[in-house]
Chain A
Amino acid sequence: MTSVSVRDLSAGYGPVRVLDGLDLTVPSGDLLAVLGVSGSGKTTLLRVLAGFLKPTGGEVRFGDRVVAGPGTFVPPERRRVGIVPQEGALFPHLDVSGNVGFGLPRDSQARIDEVLDMVGMREFAHARPHDLSGGQQQRVALARALAPEPEVVLLDEPFTALDATMRVRLRAEVRDLLKELGTTAVLVTHDQEEALSTADLVAVMRDGSLVQVGTPEEVYEAPIDLGVARFVGDAVELTAEPSGSGRVRCVLGEIPVRGGLASPGTVILRPEQLVLSCPVDDSAPGQGVVRETSYRGHDALLQVDLDDGTRIPVRVPGGSPPPRPGERVSVGVTGEARAFPG
């Protein structure tokens, strides 16, 4: 069991600096998701952790062992990391067994079988990579990475190329397996749903720096700025003024905010915090007219034009017919909003 810690890390390609002064710690046995748009530097961070790219400054430690730092650079083959690249990158000239056994000493058939059992691919031991589906290829790639019992497992957008159903299933399986083995893991992804549902910790990256590191709940419910708030989920943004004692006034009336708001600014609410009521009391705030209804079975997404002209999305659960366009509704709020001054 090994923690991963990164201190004041900088890295780049030639004159281009991609990572700039990064600090990060992944406690032993945790799964950290690095979340960012493409070009944010998340893959570069992964390559530095794996040893494929030499950092230009700072330090990387696995446990107590410095693997990259001033005067030290441990090459990838001596780091004891397992990597699951995008789309698997299985060795096309080897069968499944050959791929999984690649990092093991000869005569490791028992270990190969054991790892293939873990990922449910034992019966495919002699299949060729090109005969496997995308999901099966990823399972084999994971088995190959886990076989030599690495201290750290690195996953580089391993689920992106899969279809939606397979993606959800496989990431739950991978998470359970890593937890069972207690392996420290870093998952790079641009998919916020994947990061929130899979990881113990989420690190949001932007322009080569970490903006926020926290549990999925913290990142979703207490985003550090508007950018993070927008990136980790759908956000309804409203202008607001402070109205004392942890409350603000906005078009939806007076609502509670986490941490209060000292000066006029923006509050954000998640669509599931908005509640519709149909019989309208004329004096209540947050009234408007339904403009569009898109019915999606398990729920429906409405666009409501409030009386002051603001258009907001509201999610209503399925089960009963949603309000039709043209109906007047009243929008209420449950829970706390998150406020950002300025």
Chain B
Amino acid sequence: MTTQTVTRSRAKRFLGRPPRALLLAGVVTAVVSLIPLAYLIIRVAEAGLSRVIEVLLRARTLETIATSVGLVVVVVLACLVIGIPTAWLVARSNIPLRRMWLVLVALPLAIPSYVAAYAWISQFPAMSGFWAAALLLTLVSTPYVVLPVTASFRSADPALEEVARSLGRGPLRAFATTTLPQSWPAAAGGALLVALYVLSDFGAVALLRVDAFTRVIYASYRASFDRVSAAVLALVLVALAALLVMAERRIRGRTRRWRVATGTQRNPEPVALRGIARVGALAWLSVLTILALGVPLVSLVLRMLEGSRTPLVFSELIAAALTSAGVALAGAVLAVLLALPVGILAARYRTRSVRTIETASYSGHALPAVVVGLSLVFLTLAVLPGIYQTVFVLAFAYAVLFLPKAIGATRSATAAVPPVLEQTARTLGRGPLRAWSETTLRLTLPGIAAGGLLVLLTAMKELPATLMLRPTGLDTLATELWSRTEVAAYGAGAPYAIALVAIAAIPAWLLSRTMTRADADTVEP
């Protein structure tokens, strides 16, 4: 693509200065989504520097950091070592049932970490500790590496490997010197998503009793005596997550710049695996699938069968599902309303202020749910005790946490509608708001609604913020499973676990589609 065509298409897509009202609405969203982070910083600042340093240098703090960082490093390395060869097999080899394998390696995305932990623990009750958590988190997050790397292997221009062949490289070396280095941004981006996932994960580390950040923060909140140390730890966690998010963004920017040629693309010829290599490849994929899918699913079914001996209280399951859906719906509606101005701004205007608003509104992406939960507990207790532990706060937490998904959906839906439609409506006598609602909004409504649905489904399976912010007596599917797992009532938990996997399947499917598109615009776990 020449620079000229780029400039021209940018000129067509982006307008000049954003209207003031829209910008104002965007600022509101940005400010609202920064509330949890800002309040956390205020609390830490209030404690005073010496106190903060004292907390930071405590042996327990350093141990927590070491545990979390160690877990991240181990899981990321494992995901890369497992994920890249797996991606090669499903993308470039001639193994039978390639499409089926691609679906199977993506499916672990549909198992929330605490559901996976529940399934494994209920089967092997002795499981706990660092290495158990590392195994589990590796199994559920390998798709974050496999999917983007598969996409980049498949979309790599086969002409490059052909040129390398004609310049004297054999088939394997041609792959290793052209396609593989081009896929490293995809692999690194995936690895950073894994790191973010592991760092923010609460369910698996809590159930397997690993003292990583999230568990320690939750524990000190429950003990409710050492609020400063919880806040400091939360801030350190946010800083680490923010680093990962920034690194991931930089790499993603580079991936896009690397696509030099446009034009028609052929698919590369699959590499023929024969004999022992073929058997080995199938064995590899089978073992991976059995560990990541087979064990959890079989365990869920077994628990279900056992649980049916104790009478299943159907009304409780339905009530929990309805409660989950209700609170999540409130959060989704709020998220969509907040996302609307930011999504439109990001799709239509490229000014510095728009970029700042967008970055601020994406802060939920770098905020582990435990942190949002903690900050909102502090905030409501200190400022608005009247709404402490009400549905309103919980819905607000969902909105802030999953706002990036709603913004992404609004933004890509809006970007797909050429601004000329709205401009034409203006020339035909509509005011700015009517011109927008009669053209762009009509066309983007399905996309925006899909974004809302994604928020809804993701919020329905949210665990840590729900645990911290829910009103007493309010039970969602996730909290019901949590409390039953804590008291080792595994059979009684099974219906909830199965319902959660079913709910998680849809966002997982959407995510796997986004990640297998090589030109993915926004990727969020």
Contact = CB atoms under 8 A, between A and B. Distances in A.
B164 interface: yes
B260 interface: yes
Interface in B365-415: none
Contact of B258 (A79, A102, A103, A130): A130
B319 interface: no
B260 A86 contact: no
Interface stretch (B100-108, B120-128, B167-175): B167-175
Interface in B122-179: 157, 159-160, 162-171, 174, 177-178
B contact residues, range: 20 to 34
Given A83-B163, A103-B167, A144-B167, A90 B260 contact: yes
Contact of A103 (B157, B160, B168, B182): B168
Contacts of B260: 87-90, 92, 129-130, 137
A268 B165 CA distance: 46
B19 interface: no
A52 interface: yes
A76 B181 contact: no
Contacts of B178: 91
Contact of B166 (A50, A88, A93, A130): A50
A245 interface: no
A83 B162 contact: yes
A309 B157 CA distance: 53
A54 B119 CA distance: 51
A188 to B, nearest CB: 13
A144 B163 contact: yes
Contacts of B165: 51-52, 75-77
Nearest to A87: B261
Given A93-B182, A148-B168, A50 B162 contact: yes
A79 B3 CA distance: 36
Contacts of A145: 163, 166
B315 interface: no
A77 B160 contact: no
B262 interface: yes
B204 to A, nearest CB: 36
B167 A102 contact: yes
B2 interface: yes
A320 interface: no
A134 interface: yes
A291 to B, nearest CB: 37
A144 B262 CA distance: 20
A85 B167 CA distance: 13
Interface in A98-146: 102-103, 129-130, 133-134, 137, 144-145
A1 interface: no
A83 B166 contact: yes
22 contacts: A50-B166, A52-B165, A75-B165, A75-B170, A75-B171, A76-B166, A78-B168, A81-B166, A82-B166, A82-B167, A83-B162, A85-B162, A89-B160, A91-B163, A91-B182, A92-B258, A102-B177, A133-B2, A137-B260, A144-B163, A144-B167, A161-B263
